[in-house]
Amino acid sequence: MNNKGQAVGWGLFLIGVLLVGIIGFAGYNMGWFSKQVSQTGVGGEVKTPAQQIVEETQKGKVAQIGVSVRSVSADNVNTKVIAPIYCTDSTGKLLIDNTASSASADTTAKTTIGETITCYAFNATWQTKQPVVIKVDSESKGGQVIDAFVVPTNTGHLQVYTDTLVTGTGGYANVTASGTNGAGTFSKLRYTVNVSNQWMPLGGLYFDTVPNSNISKIDFAGTATISGGDHATTNIVASSLGNTVTSRKELWNYVFEFNDPVYKPTGNTGNNPLLLEQNDYFDTGSVTVTSSTGCSSGGELVTMYTFSKGYYKSAVATGKDIIKYGHQTDASPGAVITTDLTGDTWYCKG
C-alpha cells in the first residue's frame, strides 16, 4: 500500500474510533451499560439519567407550585375546602403564609426548580394529617393536594364509669378513698368523638383537683382499647409536658399523654397523639384515685379535660423551625392549638 492509501486507512480508522466513542458516551449517559439505569425520586417516580441531567441544567430557574386543600374528614374526601395554607422551602422560608385556599382553584407561589417545598393547612379548627412534600423538578408543579381535617372544638364526651357502669357528671359517678393512702377505683374512662365529619388528634388528658386537695395520685396509664379505629389499642403514659397556657395553669394537675403506635405526624418530636375519627372512642383500664389522708366526707370535685396536638406557626422561631407540632403554641402568652374539651366531673369522697 502506498503512503496515500495508508493515510486514508488511518483516517477511516480514527473516524470509526471517534464514532464508537461518541455512541458509547451517549449510551453511558442513557444507562445502556450500567445496572443503575434510573433513580427513584419523591413519590417513587423513576427517572432516567437523561432526565436527571435535564433537571440539573434547569436547577435554579423560576418555577411555580399550586396547592389546594381537601377534607379527609368529610363524607366526600375529594371536596376542596377553604383553609389557611402554609408552605415552606428547604430553608424554612414561607412561600405561602396563612393564605386561604380556594374551593375551585390552586393557590400558587413562586419558587425555583430543584427546591423541596412542604405545605400544611391549619388553624384552630383545621389540622393537616400529614404535610405534602413537593419536589420541584419542572417549571410548574400544580395540582398538589394537602390532606386536612376538621377538629372538634370543645365537643366530644369524656366520662368515667363506676364498677356498675354508672356514668354521669356532677356527682353521679364518684370514687371513695378513705384513710391513709386510701384508694378508690373507677371501672374505666371513655372519650367519644360524638360529632360528624370531624377528627380529633388527641394529645392527652388532664385532671383539675381542688386547691389543697387530699388526692395524691390519679393513675390509669397503660393500654387503652379503641372502637371504630384502624387499630385496636393505643398507649397512655404519665406526662411531663410543660404548660404556659394561662387558662390551663390552675387546671394542669394530673396529666397523661397518648403515645400511639400508628399515627406519627411528621415533625412531632414527643409522644404521638391518637387520631380518632367520627364516632370512634377509646376505653382505658381501671382508673385509680389515691388520697394521702383520705378525701373529705363531703367530697372533692375533680374535672377532666382533653387536649389536642397539631401544627402551628411559631411566634418566635425562624428558618426550618418556623412550623412546629405540639400541644400549644409558643406565643406569649401561650395559646392552645384547638380549644380543650371539658369532660364530666366527679367527686373523691372519704
**Same domain? 249 vs 276:** yes
Q: Residues 101-116: what's their mean pLDDT?
A: 97
- The pLDDT-based confidence of 137 (bands split at 50, 70, 90) is very high
Q: Are 340 and 251 in contact (CB under 8 A)?
A: no
Last residue of a domain, one of 150, 175, 208: 150
- 227 assigned to some structural domain: yes
User: What is the average per-residue pLDDT within 111-127?
Assistant: 97
d(CA 63, CA 136): 8
Specify if 232 maps to a domain.
Answer: yes
Q: State the total domains in the chain.
A: 2
Query: Residues 6 or more apart from 248 whose CB is under 8 A from it?
Result: 206, 307, 336, 340
What CATH number is given to the structural domain containing 175? 2.60.40
Residue ranges making up the domain that contains 70: 53-150
What does the pLDDT read at residue 60? Answer: 80
Residue 198 lies in a domain: yes
Give the pLDDT band of residue 48 (cuts 50, 70, 90). Answer: confident
- Residues 162 and 88 reside in one and the same domain: no
State the Cα–Cα distance between residues 24 and 95, nearest whole angstrom. Answer: 44
The last residue of one of the domains, among 150, 179, 213, is: 150
Residue 46 confidence (pLDDT) above 80 = no
Same domain, 226 and 124: no
- Among the candidates 101, 124, 150, a domain finishes at 150
Q: How far is CA 57 from CA 39, 112, 140, 142, 236, in A?
A: 17, 12, 16, 21, 51
- 311-325 pLDDT, tens digit each: 999 999 999 999 999
User: Does residue 70 fall inside a structural domain?
Assistant: yes
If asked whether residues 194 and 98 sit together in one domain, one would say: no
3-29 helix and 49-58 helix, angle to the nearest 10 degrees: 80
Indicate the pLDDT class of residue 15, thresholds 50, 70 and 90: low
Does the residue 6 lie in any domain? Answer: no
Q: Yes or no: say if 274 and 235 are a contact pair by the CB < 8 Å rule.
A: no
Name the percent of the chain in helix, strand, coil, to the closest 5.
Answer: 10, 45, 45
- pLDDT of 3 over the 60 cut: no
81 half-sphere exposure, CB direction, 13 A CA radius = 25
106 domain residue, yes or no:
yes
pTM for the model = 0.83
Residues 72, 204, single domain; the answer is no
pLDDT score recorded for residue 45? 62
120, 217: one domain? no
14 has pLDDT over 70: no
What sign does the dihedral 236-239-241-245 (CA atoms) show? positive
Average pLDDT, the chain: 89
Q: Is the pLDDT of residue 28 over 80?
A: no
Instruction: Please tell me the distance from the alpha carbon of residue 54 to that of residue 188, in angstroms, as a whole number.
Output: 61
Residues in the chain: 350
Stated as kind and residue range, the H or E segment containing 67 is strand 62-71
Question: Does the residue 36 lie in any domain?
Answer: no
Residue 299 has pLDDT above 70, yes or no: yes
Dihedral over alpha carbons 329, 330, 334, 340 (to 10 degrees):
20
Cα separation, 119 vs 1, whole angstroms: 74
**Secondary structure class of 181 (helix, strand, coil):** coil
Asked whether residue 200 is assigned to any structural domain, the reply reads yes
Q: What are phi and psi of 273, to 5 degrees?
A: -70, 170
Determine the pLDDT at residue 203: 98
For the beta carbon of residue 56, count every other beta carbon within 10 angstroms: 11
Contacts of 23 (CB under 8 A, 6+ apart): none
My answer on whether 67 and 177 are in the same domain is no
